[in-house]
Amino acid sequence: MMYTAEVLKVFERHRGDSIVISGRGGKHWMAISDTVMDIPLGDPAMGGHSGFGLGLALAQPGKKVVLFDSEGDILMSMGQLATIAEQAPANFYHFILDNEVYATTGGQPVPNSKHVDYAMIARGAGYPRAYNYSELDQFSAELSGILSKPGPVFVALKVWPEVENTPIGQRVRWRKRSSDKVVSDVRAALGAA
């Protein structure tokens, strides 16, 4: 098991000029980077981050698009994997943070949490490369190689859950920009606005 914050610190060393959709790692990624090329969307509707990442990657083939998704999102939208594999964006790097639980609702386990092999599912859906990691040392050693080859690539990372139990209304809001502002900012930065 790894800590999400540590995983993201390792990734930050290899980020380059990629667009980062911080997804379920958003709170920790914001402490590392919060530019117009960072896309913290919160949770517009669960299961959709992989679709957003696909769309952005297709629209911007000259830029690496990196997504930190989750196992709960994947389980909710498994069909997205087939769509991503069919479109096969070479610039799309799809990580999932697998904490085995629904952390924001109190830590209830996702179905069959200990036994789902997400990399195998991604390969079965047609991703040409897919990996599982549970140790930070191994992930650190191999990340550069993963990012140096074309996507779509899928990387499942086992992380410790960070369960939130306070009522949603009492939680500290970590995002500084609204979701639509994040989108308009990146469109402007990409010359699309």
The residues binding other proteins (CB under 8 A) are 39, 41, 43-45, 47-60, 77, 79-80, 82-83, 86-87, 179-180, 183-184, 186-187, 190-192
Least Å distance, CB 186 to other proteins, is 6
Instruction: List the one residue out of 89, 94, 82 whose CA is nearest residue 154.
Output: 94
Q: Which amino acid is at 37?
A: M
Least Å distance, CB 160 to other proteins, is 27
Is the peptide bond between 152 and the residue preceding it cis, with omega within 30 degrees of 0?
A: yes
Q: Which is nearer to other proteins, 32 or 88 (CB)?
A: 88
Least Å distance, CB 32 to other proteins, is 21
Length of the chain: 193
Q: Which is nearer to other proteins, 102 or 131 (CB)?
A: 102
Least Å distance, CB 57 to other proteins, is 8
Instruction: List the one residue out of 56, 43, 44 whose CA is nearest residue 89.
Output: 56
CA 108/CA 123 separation, integer angstroms: 27
Q: Which is nearer to other proteins, 1 or 192 (CB)?
A: 192
Q: Which is nearer to other proteins, 26 or 53 (CB)?
A: 53
DSSP 8-state secondary structure symbol assigned to residue 173: P
Q: Which is nearer to other proteins, 59 or 120 (CB)?
A: 59
- In the chain, what are the helix, strand and coil shares in percent, each to the nearest 5? 45, 20, 40
Least Å distance, CB 34 to other proteins, is 17
